[in-house]
Structure 1
Amino acid sequence: MAVASPAGRRRGSLGSRTAVLAVVAALLIVPGTAGHADPKPTVKSLEKELAGLRKDSDRLIEDYYHGRRELQQVEKAEKAAREKLEAAQEVYDREATFLRTLAVAEFMSGRRNQLTLVAEEEDPADLLNRLALRDHMVAQQQARLSGYAEVRDRHLHAQEEAAARAEELSTSVDDLAGRREKAEKQIERIRDKIDQLHKAPGRSTDGTWLPQLPGGADNITPRMRLVKTLIDKRFDVPYGIGCYRAIQDGGEHPLGRACDFMLSRGGAMPTGAEIQRGHDISAWAIKNAKRLGIMYIIYRQRIWHVRTGAWRYMSDRGGATANHYDHPHISVY
C-alpha cells in the first residue's frame, strides 16, 4: 500500500479542515439568515400605527365619558329614590304611632265591662257613635298605612335597583379608564419612537454642533425647524409658534435659532391646562435636548441649560410675556 508523503498529508489535512470550516460557516450563516431581525420601523409606519391607536383611544375616551354621564344619572336617581324613601318612611312611622295610640286606647277601654260603660253613660247612643267613629278612624288609618307601606317598599326597590346599576356602571367605567390609560401610554411610547428616529442635522463626530444658517419661509435653521415641527405635531400648540424676529436683542431669535410656543394671546395669563402644556413641552425638550441640539429652555421665569441640566430662576423682566409665563422659549445650537 502506498504511503502518502508529508506534503500530501498536509494538503489532505488542510482540505479536511477547510471543509469543516465551510460546514461550520454554513451552519452559522443559515440560521442567521433565517432569524434575520425585522427592519427598523419607519416614521411613516409608526405614524400609521399611531393614527390607529389614536382612533381607538378616542373611542375609549368617548365610551368612558358616556359611561360617566350615565353613572351620574343613575346615582342621581338613586339619591332621589333614597330621599323619597326617607319621606315615605317618616310618614309611615307617624301613621304607625297614631295607630298604636288608638290601639292602646282601645285596649284600655276594652278592659272595662261593657255594661258598666253603658250604665255610666248618660246617653248610650253617644257612646255607640263614638265607638263607631273610632272604628272608622282605625280602618281609615290602616288603609293609609297600607298605602304608605306600598310606597315605601316601591321606593326601596327602586333604590336597590339604582344602587346595583350604579355599581355595575362604576366597574365598567373603571375598566374603560384602565383601557384608556393603557392606550395613552402606548401612544406615548410610539411618539417617543418617532422622536428617536429624528436626528438633528449638523452634528460633528466629536459631538459638537456645527453652525447653521437660517433659511426657508420661516427664516430659521434646519435644527430649529426640526424641533419646531416635532413639538407642533406632538403638542398641537394652539396659540401659534413665533420664531424669527429681526430685532437685534442679543438672543437667538434674529439668528433663526429660537422659537416661542405660545400658550395664550395678547399677554394674558394662560389657563391651568395651557400651563401644563408648557410644562409638558419643556419636559419633552429636556428629554430630547442632547439628540436635537437644544441649548436652553426658558419657562415661567426659569431657565434650563443643557450644560448644567438644572433649572434656575431668572430676574424679573416686568411682565407675563417677558418672564415667559405665557410660553416656553427654546433655543438650539
Structure 2
Amino acid sequence: MTAPLRRWLTPVVAVFAACAIVVGPAPAPAAPSTPTPSEHEEDGDLLITDAIAQANRNYLQAKTKLEKSKKRQLQLAQEVKAAEEQLDALSPQITAIAAQSYRTGRLGAMTMLLESNSPDSFVHRAVALDELNMVHAQKLADINAAKTRAEQAKLALDAEVREQQKQANVMAREKAETEKALKLVGGLGFTGGLVSATSKVAAIGPGRTADGDWKPESCSEDDPTTSGCVTPRTLHAYKEVKKAGFNRFVGCYRSGGPWEHPKGRACDWSLQKSGFSPWHNNDMRMYGNNVAAFLIRNADRLGIYYVIWNRQIWFPATGWKSYSGPSNHTDHVHMSLL
C-alpha cells in the first residue's frame, strides 16, 4: 500500500471540532504566479477572473452611459423650460387675438374690402388685411413650433429617464452577480482566480422532499471506488461529479470513525489520476477549485452537507471558513452528503 493511499485511509477530522478551531481566512500554500486565463480554460469555460473583468467593463460602460444620460436630461430640461417660457410669452397675444375675434367675429377679406368707401381706403384696408393675416400666421406658427418643441423635448426626456434607470439596473445587477460569484467560490485569495465562472447543472439527487429537506438514507449501494457501500444520494453525487468531467482518482467508503466516510456519505476527490499529493501547480489547484465550485453551486441539488478543500471548509449556512486538522485537505476535495 502506497503512502498516499495510507494518508487517505486515516480518519476524516471531526467536523464540529474543525468548525470550532479558527474562523477566518488562512493562507494557502505558496503557488506559482497566476497565469493568464487562456492558459487554464477547460472546455472553453470562462474563468472567474474573466467574469470579474467583464463585469467591471460592463459597469464602466453603464456608468458612462448613465453620465451621458444625466447631461442629456439637463439639456432637455432646459429646452422644455425655454419652450414653456415662449408659450407663456405668447399667451397674452393669443388672448388678445381671441378677445378680438370674440368681439368682432372672424374678420374675413371680403368684409374688410366691402366696407371701404374710397380707393385709398380700399388700398389701406387691403394692406391691413395682408398684415393681419401675416401676423396671425406667424403667431400661430410660433405657437405651434413652441408647443411641438416642448412635446418632443418631454418625450425625449422621458426616454432618457428610462434609459438612465436601465443603466442603473445594469450596474446593480453586474455588481451583485460578481460579488455572489466571488463569495461562492471563496474569493480570489482562496482560488487565485483559477476556477471556472460557471459549473454544469447537476441532476437533483434522490430523497429530496417538496419542502427542500432530505430523507435519511442507509449505506445500501455498492461503492464504485472500494468494496464498501455508499448511500443512494452519495452514489448519485459521485456520478454527477464524474459526468461533469472530473475523472481523476476518488475514494468514498472507509471503515472506522464516527463521521461520514464509514456511513457511505462522503467521497474524497484527488487532484491526481492515482493516489494523493498536495497541489503544487496551477493545474492541480484549478482542478480542486473546480470540483469544489461544482459541489457548492449544486449543493441544493445534490444534498451537500459540507465541503473541505485547501484549508477551508464550506457549509451551506456559513460559506467558507478557515479549517485545520490532521489533514489540511490540500491534496483532495472532501464532500459530505446529508
Category of TM-score, reference length = shorter chain: 0.3 to 0.5
- Kindly name which structure, 1 or 2, has the bigger radius of gyration based on alpha carbons: 1
Pick the structure with more helix per residue: 1
Higher relative contact order, structure no. (Cα contacts within 8 Å, ≥ 6 residues apart):
2
